[in-house]
Structures are given as C-alpha cells and as structure tokens.
Amino acid sequence: MLTIGKLGDAAGVKVPTIRYYEQIGLLPEAERSAGNQRLYSRKALERLAFIRHARGLGFTLEAIRDLLSLSDRPDQSCAAADAIARAQLAEVESRLARLTALKAELERMVVQCAGGKIADCRVIEVLGDHAHCATDHCHPHADHLE
C-alpha cells in the first residue's frame, strides 16, 4: 500500500491532482489507515499512470473517463476505444494545422517589421487588426486556452 505522497512520486503526479481525480471519480476513493491516512494499491498506481499518460497525449478528462470505463470491461470490442483515439488524433491534427498557420503568420509579421518606431511597427499593427493577417490562424476559443 502506498501513501498519497508515494503514489504521486511513483506516478509523477502531484498530490492535489490525485485528490482532484478522486473527487471527480477517475480514481476510486483510497482506503484509510487507522490514522486516517490515504492508502493506495498497486491497481490505483496503474490507473493513475494510465490517466497521466492519457493526459500527456492530450485526452480530455471525459475521454479518459470513457477509456477507463472501457478498460474495466476487457471482454468488450475495442471499437469505442479506437473511436476515442481517432477523435483525439483528429483534434491533434487540427491543432497542428492551426499552429502551422500561426507560425506562418508570425514569420510573415516578423519579416515585415522594419525595426523602426512603434508608430510604424508591423507587429503592433497586425496584432491590432486581424484583417491584416494572411490566414485565419486563431483558435475558436482563444480566450479560453490553458
């Protein structure tokens, strides 16, 4: 059995994150010692490692919840897991396309900058008016990016 600190160290996850995953039901509530200390099994460590790896690949918490639910029923077809992974791949491809457009726009902006005064600065001008951009590189929810 592992304490929450040892679990976090073993999985590379911070203690508040472990508590959060318990709170939202991704991790089952830990057993408690006589001194009311959380104690975790090897299975909890494996589940936390799964969550951490999935987060590292960009899966949403809801997708991870679905994948964990599927992994709890190993006799099922993997079609649902495949669909979740394909949706994540499509999201990554979309993000890459946006980043490529963003890179091109930033390169264009920097090249056009004459290095003079702010009053004539192309960087400031372009940032002030999206109409000066050559591509639609903005994320649809740019105000909500992490």
pLDDT at 11: 95
CATH class assigned to 2-59? mainly alpha
pLDDT, tens digit, 9 for 90 and up, residues 64-100: 999 999 998 989 899 999 999 999 999 999 999 999 9
Other beta carbons within 10 Å of 109: 19
Question: Measured on CA atoms in the order 96, 101, 105, 108, is the torsion positive or negative?
Answer: positive
Model confidence pLDDT, tens digit, residues 6-62: 999 999 999 999 999 999 999 998 889 888 889 999 999 999 999 999 999 999 999
DSSP string, 17-47: HHHHHHHTTSSPPPEE-TT--EEE-HHHHHH
Q: What predicted TM-score, i.e. pTM, was given to this entire model?
A: 0.74
- Contact 136/94 with Cβ under 8 angstroms? no
**For the chain, how many residues are written?**
146
Strands (DSSP E) found in 43-143 = none
Residues 6+ apart with CB under 8 A from 31: 1, 38, 39, 40, 41
pLDDT digits over 92-117, tens only?
999 999 999 989 888 887 887 767 77
